[in-house]
Amino acid sequence: MRTARIRGEGGAGYYHCISRVVDRQFLLGEGQKEMFCTLMRAAEIFSGVRVLNYAALDNHFHALIHVPRAPAALSEAELLDRVEALYGKDGRRAREELWATYREQEHGELVLEDQARLKARMHDVSGFMKTLKQRYTQWHNRKFGRTGTLWEQRFKSVLVEGSEGALRTMCAYIDLNAVRAKIVSDPKDYRWCGYAAALSGVQRAREGIAQALGGFAQGADWKTIAVKYRLFLYASGECGALDENGRPEKPGFSPEQAREVLAKGGKLTLFELLHCRVRYFTDGAVLGSREFVEDAFERYRQFFGLKRKTGARPMRCCEAPLCTMRALRLEPVTVPASG
C-alpha cells in the first residue's frame, strides 16, 4: 500500500516535487527541456498554482510549487482562460462548442459535470504534476515516435514550510542542481533553472524567487532581491559581498574539506550543505521549523507507529535550524567528488 502523500491544510502549501524519467534514461536534451519549461508554465496557469523555482535536468526535474487555497468560485470565463493556457485557442473553442451543444440539447448538467472534472485537476499538487507530466509525455512521444510511459510513476514531494528560511533554502538547492552535477560552475549559466530565467528577464521566474525570499512582500525591487539571493547561493546567507564579476569575495570550500568535517562528526554550514546532495530535501517528507513539522506529524499521526511520539527530527550534518519528518540514516548528505 502506498504511503499517503503529506500535504498542507486543505492541500494548500509549498511543495518540493521531483520526478525522474523512467529507468533514469537521459532523454531530455536542450530542445526537450525548452518544451518542458514551456508546458510547465502552461500547466501552472491551468492548475492555478505558482512555480516558485525549478530545474530541468537530463533525466529528472525539480519544482518548488505553491498551491494556494482554491477560490470559492471560478467563473466560466476564468475556466476557459485556463483551458486556453494549456490547450490553446483550438482547445478553448472546442470546449465552448461542446458546452453550447449540451445546452442546446437541454443538458446543462453535462456542462457542470465537465467543468467539475476540469476544476478537480486544479489547486492540487498532484493534479499539477499529473497534468504537466502527461502533456509533456504526449509531446515527447509524438516528437520522437515513441510509445508508453516516460516518467517513473509516482513523483516525490516534500511539504515545505512557507517561511523565508525554508523556502529560500529549497529554492537555492534546486538552482544548484546543475552545479552539483558539474554541468556548470555557476547556476546563472544553466538555462533551464529558475535563477537563470530570472536573470534573463522572465517575470514569472523573478516573482517566484522573490516570493521564496519574501522580497515583494517587503517592497524590494528585483535588483535588490537578485543580489540578496546570489549572496545566499554563494556566501552562506547574509554575510559576504560580491566582487566586480558578481562572485562572492568570501572563498568557497572544497569537497575534500566537507568530507573531512563530516568524517569528524562535524556539521556543515547551510552554504556548504546546499552544494552537496541532500536527501533531506527530497526524502524528508516535511521540511521546516520544529513547530511546522510537529503540526504535520499530528495531522498524519495514524501513518506512524505507536512508539513514535514526536515528528520533528533535526537535520544531521547541518548547522541550519531546520527539521524534517523522516530521520534519514543512510547517507543523508553526499559530497560530490572534486572535479
Q: What is the pLDDT of residues 275-295, one digit of tens each?
A: 889 999 999 999 999 999 999
Question: What pLDDT does 316 receive?
Answer: 84
Separation of alpha carbons 206 and 210, rounded Å: 6
What band does 236 get if pLDDT is binned at 50, 70 and 90? very low
From the list 317, 310, 319, the residue with the least C-alpha distance to 291 is: 310
Give 216's contacts (C-beta < 8 A, 6+ positions apart): 207, 210
What band does 1 get if pLDDT is binned at 50, 70 and 90? very low
| Sign, Cα dihedral of 207, 295, 128, 167 | positive
Question: What pLDDT does 3 receive?
Answer: 67
Is the distance from CB of 174 to CB of 54 less than 8 angstroms? yes
Separation of alpha carbons 339 and 337, rounded Å: 6
Q: What digits encode the pLDDT tens for the residues 179-213?
A: 999 899 889 999 999 999 999 999 999 999 999 99
**14: which 3 cell numbers?**
509549498
Instruction: Measure CA 87 to chain center.
Output: 23
Question: What pLDDT does 246 receive?
Answer: 57
Separation of alpha carbons 108 and 122, rounded Å: 22
- Cα–Cα–Cα angle for 312, 160, 328, nearest 5°? 45
**Highest-pLDDT range among 47-51, 70-74, 178-182, 327-331:** 47-51
Query: Amino acid identity of 307?
Result: K
The dihedral formed by the CA atoms of 125, 126, 131 and 136, expressed in degrees to the nearest 10: 100
From the list 124, 117, 85, the residue with the least C-alpha distance to 98 is: 117
- What would the mean pLDDT of 37-41 be, rounded to a whole number? 98
Is the distance from CB of 83 to CB of 42 less than 8 angstroms? no
Separation of alpha carbons 87 and 95, rounded Å: 10
Is the distance from CB of 157 to CB of 43 less than 8 angstroms? no
Question: What pLDDT does 297 receive?
Answer: 94
- In three-state secondary structure terms, 181 is coil
What's the predicted TM-score (pTM) here? 0.91
Phi then psi for residue 19, to 5 deg, are -135, 140
The angle that helices 164-175 and 222-234 make with each other, rounded to 10 degrees, is 70
Question: What pLDDT does 243 receive?
Answer: 58
* Domain residue spans of the chain: 76-119
Separation of alpha carbons 35 and 28, rounded Å: 10
- What would the mean pLDDT of 293-301 be, rounded to a whole number? 93
**Mean pLDDT, rounded, of the chain:** 90
What band does 239 get if pLDDT is binned at 50, 70 and 90? very low
Q: Which of 17-21, 39-43, 178-182, 205-209 has the lowest mean pLDDT?
A: 178-182
**Which secondary-structure segment (H or E) carries 62?**
strand 60-67
- Cα–Cα–Cα angle for 20, 316, 59, nearest 5°? 10
